Every structure is written in C-alpha cells, then in structure tokens.
Amino acid sequence: MTRVLFALTAALVLVAPTQAANKKAVVTIIAEPAGVKNKEYPHSALLIEYSDGKKEWLGFMPPHTGKGGLVDPSDRTEWVGSYVRFELDEGKVRAARKATVAKYEKLEWKALTCDCVSFTSDFCRETGLLRVTARPNLIPANLVTNLASMNTDLKPQHVSEVTRKTKLPWR
C-alpha cells in the first residue's frame, strides 16, 4: 500500500509542473484606425486572454494631464480596425506583460518614439513574436500585418479589416 501511495504521489509531482507549463494564453494585437472616437491618430493595443478565462487589455497613451504616460487597461473592442491573434505559452505572456508594463509605467509618452506602437512592439518582442530589434513600422495596422506575416509558423488568425458585421472572437 505504501509503495502504491508513493508511486501515485511521484506521478502527480511529475505531471503537475508539465500541465502548468502547457497553459496557453491568447494574445490579440489590435489596430484602431484614425478618426475613431474623435482621435486624429491610429492606435495600437493588445488583449490577453488567460487560461483561467481572465481577459486584460493593455495599451500606452499620453496622460490626461501633465507629463508621463499611461498604461491603459480600457477595452478597445468597439474601435478595432484590424487584428491578429496568437496562442502562446502563458508563462511567457505573463513575463512579457510584467516586463513591458514595468518599463512603460516609468516612461514619458512621445509620438513615434515611445507610444502605443512601441508598447505593443516591446510586448511582442518579449514574447518572441517580434523577432527583429529595429522597430518594423510606425503605423498600428502595419504592425498587425507584419506580425501575421512574420509568424506564419504559429498559424495566426489575421483579420485585416473589421466591420460592424465582423464577429470578434473575444466577445
């Protein structure tokens, strides 16, 4: 009986870390076109869907007042113009989220150098989705398209134009 319990305990210990390591999160990179919500410029943000069902939006915007930058958790669903989705290792996604948010909480928003596309690109670089060190583009829609074409091995779901009739998978 003791041997059976020992064998069962050993099997559980060996299986538990493997199952935890195989958890997947779905990451959606979105682009909002200019002119949406009275904005003059396009916007980039991301949605993380964790294996436990939790969803988290992240973007980087200028602050409402003063200097700095704002890591923005606002749901961007209403303004999506295009998107690309990837299923990734959840541990890697959590680490990328932590590193990117920690970095940008200390930075000042500057158009074209430290903005929403920079934030999203840095997150993607941390996850391994963006495999180049140079910034591949300045326009959110180009980032979506480039990520889809750079990661065909991950079989991304890429929608280049969202309309009111488009059924968004995270709704």
Q: In this predicted structure, which of 18-22, 37-41, 96-100 has the lowest mean pLDDT?
A: 18-22
| Model confidence at 60: pLDDT above 80 | yes
User: How high is the pLDDT of residue 15?
Assistant: 45
Helical axes 116-127 vs 90-104, angle rounded to 10°:
140
For residues 33 and 138, what is the distance between their CA atoms, to the nearest angstrom? 13
In a domain, 167, yes or no: no
In a domain, 166, yes or no: no
Q: What integer best gives the mean pLDDT of the chain?
A: 86
In a domain, 62, yes or no: yes
112 compared with 159, residue with greater pLDDT: 159
pLDDT digits (tens, 9 = 90+) for 96-141: 999 999 999 999 999 888 999 999 999 999 999 987 766 656 899 9
| Model confidence at 154: pLDDT above 90 | yes
In a domain, 18, yes or no: no
Residue type, 29: I
In a domain, 141, yes or no: yes
Alpha helices, DSSP H, located in the chain: 2-21, 90-104, 116-127, 140-150
In a domain, 15, yes or no: no
Tell me the two tokens of residue 75.
Answer: 């749901």
Best-predicted range by mean pLDDT (3-12, 37-46, 60-69, 93-102): 93-102
Contacts of 85 (CB under 8 A, 6+ apart): 26, 27, 28, 29, 156, 157, 158, 169
| Residue 7: pLDDT band with limits 50, 70, 90 | very low
- Split into its structural domains, the chain has a count of 1
Query: Which range marks the domain in which residue 109 is found?
Result: 24-159
